[in-house]
Structure formats: C-alpha cells, structure tokens
Structure 1
Amino acid sequence: MTTPRYRRCILATCCVPWDERFEFEEDIFRRSVRHQIASGIRDLYIFGTAGEGYAVTETQFDTITRVFLDETRIDGVQAMVGLISHSLPTIIERIERARDMGARRFQLSLPSWGVLSDAELKTFFRETCGRFPDCEFLHYNLMRSGRIITGTEYGVLAAEHENLVATKNSTADITRLQSLFTDAPQLRHFITEVGFAKACHMGDCGFLISFLSTNFPRALDYFRAGCERAPAALATITADFDGLIATFKEAVGNTAHMDGAFDKLFCRIHDPEFPLRLLPPYEGVSNERFERYRDQLRSLHPLWLP
C-alpha cells in the first residue's frame, strides 16, 4: 500500500474575528487557536472559505498570518496558510511573504474568475508547487472554483509534484471518493463529516471537521472510530448528523450564505465573545439567530455542546 504524504489527522479551520469597525480582534483569535490546540486539534489552517481568505487585504493577510504562526509554534502542531485569489501572482507573493515568516504548508484553491483549462491547471500547479519545492501544498477541491479535480487528475499532479501532499473534498459521493483513493493514493484526502464515515472504509483518509467542532472530544471519538473502521461507533455518531445539520441551517435561514457564517456559529459555542460578523459585503448571522441555534442544540442535541 502507498503511504500518503501527509499525516492522518483532524484538519480544522481557524475563523477570523472582526470588531465593529471590521478590524482584526487579535486577542479573541489567539484564544480561539489556543482552545483548539488544547482540545486536541493539532492541524490548523487559516484563510479557507470559512476563514474569509477570499476577502482579506494584503495587510490583513500578513498580520493574521504572523499571529497564527506565532500561536502554532508548538511541538506536534502543524499550521497551514490558505491562499484564495483570482490572481496567480498574488498567490505567489503571499506564499513568498508567509514563507519568510516561517510558513511551509499552504492550502491552494483554483482561481475562479474563469474556469481553468487543462493547460492552465498544469500552469497553476507548476507556479505554486513547482516554484516552492521546500513547501508542502494541500489542494482545496471546491465547486466555487468552477472545476472539481478528479482522482485521476490528482494522480497525475501528484506524480509531477512530490510536494503536493493532500486534498480537501466536501463530498459523500461514493464513486468520487473511491477514485481519490484508487487513483491518487499518495495524497492524504481530507473528507468532511458525512463523507468521512464512507471514506474511512476505502482508505486512510483524514477528517475535515466542520459542524462537529461544537464538541471536540466527541469529534475526536468520531475520528478514532473512522481510523479503527468501527461500524457501531460510527453509526452512533452519524445518527445525529441529519438533526445537527437541520439545526444550524434552520438557525441561519436565508440571512447568510457564506461558509464563515456557519463556522462562526460553532466558534461562538466555545467563546461567547467571538463575533459573528463577516467582512463586507457578506452578512454574518445575528446574535438572536445564534441564541436560537445554541438553545436548539441544548434542547435537541445536548451531547454536542462543549
């Protein structure tokens, strides 16, 4: 069997808190990062879609990256910096600056102003993975980019770039999951909650945590059950999923549609001072809707509170 290039773990986002003037709340952010580490989450990243990597200025990118790297300089903790931009030169410059700060792991998303052709896809990975051979790269495979990379395509890219080490896939489609493990076994594939229970029977996948982050010990139990391929333990936890998903979707309703709006609900479950606002023009969830979400968890799913 092929050993994947990245360790098997839970991979978690670090959301960015903003004050009323949409300035970075450094103290709250540091507290949130420390809380995840203390809770046993050792692989963290900033600036995915939930971390508003698509919205930050270059100054904000540098400031938050510096703080994040400072908080994650701990033995056993691996930090990853997300890169979302329509501009490949901007992505390259961000890698260069974060690399100067000490970052060596990066999360790539494809530029989405126009869907990349096969030749453009090859260029994108050559100018990121190929340009920085001393760094490791994870690719975030999401439909917002207009193109989903297949398992077969990952196999080709992984053969060309030894520092392409992992992927993130939010899917429960069995055919797509099977292709990831069959056609690109050298990459560690991180799968979200619903798909993870299926994927762990196909290969040694990682767990990309989202709504289970309201209770880290139970999320760790779910990850261990997947690693052990324990069907009874997996079934016990997955039985809650439909209710948990319905609860946070009902709370948010049609008031917000960005990933960060959901993930900041989960952050606030742990820290009542964590602000829910997103960088404009996007809207976060109101305090009233958060309270409804928390009360519904308390009433219907108390095991998923901290």
Structure 2
Amino acid sequence: MSTAKRYRSCILATCCVPWNECFEFEEEIFRRSVRHQIESGIRDLYIFGTAGEGYAVTESQFDEVTNVFLDETKGDGVQGMVGLISQSLPTVIERIERAMEMGATRFQISLPSWGVLNDAEMQTFFRETCGRFPKAEFLHYNLMRTGRIITGTEYGRLAGKFPNLVATKNSTADEARLKSLFADAPQLQHFITEAGFAKAALMSECGFLISFTSTNFARAREYFHAGRDRDAAKIEAIAADFGGLIDAFKEAVGSSAHMDGAYDKLFCRIHDPEFPLRLLPPYEGVSEEWFGHYLGLLRKHQPSWLP
C-alpha cells in the first residue's frame, strides 16, 4: 500500500513581486499577476522564495505583500504559501506570528545560510518552526545556497517528529536522490523542477515545481498531467523542448544576472508587458534590451511556449 501524502500533488508556482522605480511595491500589477496564474489553472502559489526575493524584503515590505497575497489566494481551491528566508531564526518566528494573524496557514522555510547548520542546529530550526506552530503546515525548500542539502533519510526522521511538515522543494534530477526522497520520506509531497520531474513522476506521486515552463501555463499543465498519468512518451516529447528553453534565457541574460528572480521576472513579463524586471538592490535584474532578445529567441525557436 502506498503512503498517504500530507499535501496534494499539484503544480507549485512562485509569485514574483514587482517594484517601481523607487523600489515600492506595485500592488495592482502583483494582484493582476496572481489572478492570472489562478485563472490559468495554477492554484498552489507562494511568495518570498528565492525568485520572490524573500531574502531581500524589509519587515514592512514582508507585511504589505503578504497581506495582499493572502487576499488574492483566499478563493475556493486556492492554496497560498508564505516563504520565510532569513539568517535570523527569531525573525522567522516573528514573521510566522504576524502572517498567521493575517490568516496564513502554510509556510515555506529554508535553513539559515550564514553558517552551515550542524545536526543539532538543524533540529533546533525545525523545532522552532514546525514544532512551535503545530496549527500551520510547512514545506521545506532544500537548496544549496544554505550550504546543506537535507537527505531523504533526514526528511523521514523530521517527518516522523513533525506531522505538520508536509512537503519539500528539490531542484534535482539525480535519480538516487529522488529515489531516496520517495523511499525514505514517502509521507511528504516532494515538488521537483522540470528536468527532475520527468524522472520523478515515473517513480512515484510527486508535485511539479514550475520555473521556466511558466511562459505557457497550458503546456506546463499538460506536462504535469502527463507525469500524473505516467505517460512516459508524452513526458519525453514535452521535455525535448527544455534544452532550447534553457538556452534561450541563458543566452538572453548571459552574465548580467545571477539571482533567481532575474530569470523569473523574465517569465512574468512574457504574460504582462507592464511587469517590472528590477530586483531590490543591490541585485540587478535583466535590462529591457535583454528581455527583448529573450522574447525574440522564444518567438523564433520556441513559439509553442509563448502564451
């Protein structure tokens, strides 16, 4: 018998935050972007991951954006998740408290990265997040920027201790690592990015963490459902485009950007020509010129991935 998952299998997508020339929150553009994803069938959304600049926002920006996001994701069947990235565990705790007062129930956490956590410190981190807030649900974002990748075995132990740890995000296509996630922490829903999802979906139930395929939500949903159906031929056919899609945004951006949000805001601009490309300083986004180059490459080589 398969183990019941603690979170549904779905497409999980980021909501980037638009900033004006004074680096103030562009609320109406943000609301429009969130609504567009929901109307396009993407109903599990989160703010303040790495693409959503969760590492860079002030406390007032965190509160302002969170309040608007929760307002836009309160509809039936929509699940909103608030990301928490900070070097300070007390700051993470305070943000959870304030967001829960606004109505948040789901959170995305990642380990502090100023120093790589040892085993005891990692246990403290999860105790003071999952353990401290038993009425909330938590997804752990497993990324190398923290200096430590949590293994499937470690996830299994954490899941046994914290029943409200419900899911993970893993950007990997390594088969051994994927197999361990499913075998050693089967109760968690593991969200995997494009290349890894092609392998993971044929191994076990999983979620799809969408990134560069968000330029066309209909085709991304088709890819996800091919995975749900374990249709290997269809997965392979759609995934055959991925190399060209990756080449397009890498060629467009080159060495001009190195933050996840710089890429993801390219994808947002594909859907809304008013979506700003800028990142909170000191980080730099992509220029208008390079966005135009990226759009031209898609039109020429990957037109089926435009909306």
TM-score by length of 1: 1.00
Q: Would you say 1:74 and 2:57 are equivalent positions?
A: no
- Structure 2 partner of 1:9: 10
- Structure 1 partner of 2:231: 230
- Structure 2 partner of 1:48: 49
Secondary structure class of the residue paired with 2:204: coil
Amino acid at match of 1:207: F
Secondary structure class of the residue paired with 2:81: strand
The answer (yes or no) to whether the contact 2:16–2:51 under 8 Å persists in 1 is yes
CA distance in 2, matches of 1:168, 1:187: 10
- Structure 1 partner of 2:257: 256
CA distance in 1, matches of 2:267, 2:282: 21
- Structure 1 partner of 2:221: 220
Aligned length: 306
Give how far 1:60 is off: 0.1
Give how far 1:82 is off: 0.1
Give how far 1:231 is off: 1.1
Amino acid at match of 1:282: Y
The residue correspondences of 1:183-198 to structure 2 (distance < 5 A) are 183-198=184-199
Q: Which runs of 4+ in 1 moved over 3 A?
A: none
CA distance in 2, matches of 1:305, 1:254: 24
- Structure 1 partner of 2:120: 119
CA distance in 2, matches of 1:203, 1:187: 12
CA distance in 2, matches of 1:220, 1:149: 28
Amino acid at match of 2:19: W
Amino acid at match of 2:230: R
The residue correspondences of 1:47-196 to structure 2 (distance < 5 A) are 47-196=48-197
CA distance in 2, matches of 1:58, 1:239: 42
Amino acid at match of 1:34: R
Amino acid at match of 1:127: E
Deviations 1:207-255 (A, max 9, x none): 0000000000000000000000001111110000111101100000000
**Identity score, percent:** 76
CA distance in 2, matches of 1:11, 1:301: 23
Unaligned residue ranges in structure 2 (runs of 5+): none
Deviations 1:100-136 (A, max 9, x none): 0000000001000000000000000000000000000
CA distance in 2, matches of 1:184, 1:92: 25
Secondary structure class of the residue paired with 2:269: helix
CA distance in 2, matches of 1:230, 1:184: 24
Deviations 1:57-111 (A, max 9, x none): 0000000000000011100000000000000000000000000000000000100
The answer (yes or no) to whether the contact 2:6–2:167 under 8 Å persists in 1 is yes
CA distance in 2, matches of 1:230, 1:111: 38
TM-score by length of 2: 0.99
Unaligned residue ranges in structure 1 (runs of 5+): none
